[in-house]
Amino acid sequence: MNIKNALLAATVLVASPVLAQAQPITGLYIGGGGGVNFLQNEKVVGSSLPAPGAPAHLIFQPGWVGVGSLGYGIGNGIRMEIEGDFRTNHPRSSYPVRSSSDGSEVKYGAMFNALYDFDLIGISGYGVAPYLGLGAGWSHNKLHGLSIADGASTVHINSEADVAAFQGIAGVAVPLNSITPGLAMTVEYRLMEEPGSSKYNSVAVTPTGNFGTRTKLVNDVNHSVMVGLRYALNTPEPAAAVVVPPPVAALAPQPAPSRSYLLFFDWDKSNLSSRAQQIIADAAQNAQRVQYTRIDVTGNADLTGTHEYNMALSRRRADVVAAELEHDGVARAAINVIAAGDTKPLIPTAEGVREPQNRRVEIVIH
């Protein structure tokens, strides 16, 4: 597998019809992660190598990878970031000639990445936000203590090289808002490739003496699997539920006035907080006192999703509130559930903007 295959896979996923509007990050964020790095077999080429007619292939043990990044989200799913990374692997053996298992190949690099977050219908409700990305940059490779031998002569490599590097990224982010707003856990796969060959100074030890030479490593491809954390710096705190006080009753006898209550929800959520449950209980108790004839429960959503998705989300919110009213003693036949989607924003915004005041359910007692 190489970087061309990764680009093709990313193109297929971007074109897939199941992809909906992205879950946006707006402003600065920081991230970091670590995991396991698998370095593919590398071909070693050099005129002074043992058995020069058949180049050696180094086989590496699984190693380690660490990445730190600083990024900026535009707000429509597109993110740009710079990263610093570290990878290390130790050789296990080589073929057709043997090598020692000592030594290491260490990489320090810097990348510029472009990423896109997706909102997959049916998954976003669980808080899972998949993303894809491509990166380009530089890698500083350091070989230490590598040796390839056939019993008569040995080539030792202790050298460094700077090369261009490219990568493809595929991952998912799971929000950890219960810990702090803006925090998410990430799980990633990265394919990093250094195209062409890397040239290193080496020393050939032969029965006739030692001499300096040049050795090339070809096919430097890394597969990294990582777990990490990402934090968006300017994520707003969730809005608290607000109850609208009932109007003051007129002195002259007149029909009982309507009572209205507002409950607000976290982004893309339909679950009730303990405060929201208390407001619904108050509404149900007050409805009994004013001898209601009908209770309208209207769900609303902000403009961060498609209109179809927002209509379904507002319906789920209204259904949850209606079920809680019934649990608190209101007759189900008297409850009128309405899904307004994103058609009645309390605060007018452009599409794609998260507005807490628009993620609400209104209870009106008639």
Residues forming beta bridges with residue 60, ordered by sequence position: 91
Determine contact, residues 202/157, Cβ cutoff 8 Å: yes
Secondary structure (DSSP) of 34-103: EEEEEEPPEEEE-TTSSSTTS-EEEEE--EEEEEEEEEEEESSSEEEEEEEEEEEE-EEEEESSEE-S--
Greatest mean pLDDT among 14-28, 246-260, 284-298 lies in: 284-298
pLDDT score of 243: 64
Residue 44 vs residue 247, higher pLDDT: 44
Determine contact, residues 260/322, Cβ cutoff 8 Å: no
Rounded Cα gap, residues 2 and 235, in angstroms: 37
pLDDT score of 169: 96
Residue 264 vs residue 99, higher pLDDT: 264
- What is the mean predicted confidence (pLDDT) over 27-42? 94
Q: Decide if pLDDT at 50 tops 80.
A: no
Q: Decide if pLDDT at 259 tops 90.
A: no
Rounded Cα gap, residues 39 and 36, in angstroms: 10
Q: Decide if pLDDT at 291 tops 70.
A: yes
**CATH number at 3-232:** 2.40.160.20
- What is the mean predicted confidence (pLDDT) over 102-121? 87
Q: Break the chain into its structural domains and give their ranges.
A: 3-232, 259-365
pLDDT over 70, % of the chain? 79
Residue 58 vs residue 140, higher pLDDT: 140
pLDDT-derived band at 15 (thresholds 50, 70, 90) equals very low
Give residue-wise pLDDT tens across range 120-164. Answer: 655 555 668 899 999 999 999 998 888 777 656 778 888 899 999
| CB within 8 Å of 132: residues ≥ 6 apart | 10, 13, 14, 115, 116, 118, 168, 169, 170
pLDDT score of 10: 42
Give residue-wise pLDDT tens across range 175-216. Answer: 887 888 889 999 999 999 998 888 888 888 877 878 888 888
pLDDT score of 49: 60
Q: Decide if pLDDT at 167 tops 90.
A: yes
pLDDT score of 242: 62
The CATH architecture assigned to 259-365 reads: 2-Layer Sandwich (3.30)
Give residue-wise pLDDT tens across range 88-105. Answer: 998 887 766 666 556 889
Q: Decide if pLDDT at 294 tops 70.
A: yes
Peptide bond into 96 cis (omega under 30): yes
Q: Decide if pLDDT at 325 tops 60.
A: yes
